Amino acid sequence: MLHDSTQARLGWLGAMAQLGGALKAGEEEAASRLTAAYASAPTRCPRCASGRLYKLGDGGRRCPGCKYSFREAAGRWIGRHRLPVRTWLAVLRGFDVGLGVQELAEMASLSMPTMGRVHRTIQLSLAALDPEWLPVVLACEAGAPVPAAFFVRRENGAVKVSVNLSAPAGEPARLDLPPPSADDAALRRFRLSVRRWRGLVSERRALTLKELELRVNLHGPMFDLLVDALTRYVPAELAAA
Ligand SMILES: [Zn+2]
């Protein structure tokens, strides 16, 4: 008996060690993906835009041209919040599976106001991936009335949400959907996902629509897309505003 329970316990310990190892490896891999993502948009000096930089010991960068030191995240969406990498990873994993601001705040041990701002930055970075959506991102950033009229169409097998800029901003919100067709899974998913959409406030409404478009088209994990969007530079039109 003793032998059996010892065997069972050893088996259990082994399984836990394996699981712990897998989780740790997952975190390291995710962290390195975050770091690697910076490389796809090479770091440049936020003051003079020079790309000739020195690496500092703490991971920061120094521009010999204008003698300015800065973090690699400076000027990028992700640089708007000083969160540890593991907190970012927790937030992005939670966002990926569709958790709301309150659940994300609890999971990442952040205050609700902080998590609200981080969530907004994630949504802004996603919307900014599409140049057509820059007017929405600009309005959100400027605190101006956000476009409220949108139309949905099918484009190369994907759902595409466009902004109707000729319609007045503000209320009432308007979303024109193509008629349902039985064989269109992506459009069906989109129709389901926008059911509670009208209840959101105007800024969230616009940004959430873009998020839903991306989710419906990906129909799978969006972690890589989130990392890509967040490590991009805030568009110059916004940085200058
Ligand atoms: Zn510089």
33-48 pLDDT per residue, tens: 887 888 777 788 888 8
What is the rounded distance in angstroms from the CA atom of residue 49 to the CA atom of residue 65? 10
DSSP code for 100: -
Residues facing 158 on adjacent strands: 155
Ligand 1 centre and the CA of 165: distance in Å? 37
**What pLDDT was estimated at residue 13?**
56
200 phi and psi angles, rounded to 5 deg: -80, 160
CA of 76 to the centre of ligand 1 (A): 16
CA 239 to ligand 1 centroid distance, Å: 16
SS3 content of the chain, % helix, strand, coil (to 5): 55, 10, 35
Q: What is the mean pLDDT of residues 184-197?
A: 87
Compute, in angstroms, the gap from residue 234 CA to the centroid of ligand 1.
17
Q: Nearest Cα to 84, choosing from 73, 99, 97, 96?
A: 73
Mean pLDDT of 133-161: 92
Beta carbons of 224 and 195 less than 8 angstroms apart: no
CA of 71 to the centre of ligand 1 (A): 13
**What is the layout of strands, in order, in the sheet containing 68-70?**
54-55, 61-63, 68-70
What residues contact residue 109 under an 8 Å CB cut-off, 6+ apart?
A: 87
pLDDT for position 1 = 45
Convert the pLDDT of each residue in 91-143 to its tens digit: 998 999 999 999 999 999 999 999 999 999 999 999 999 999 999 999 999 99
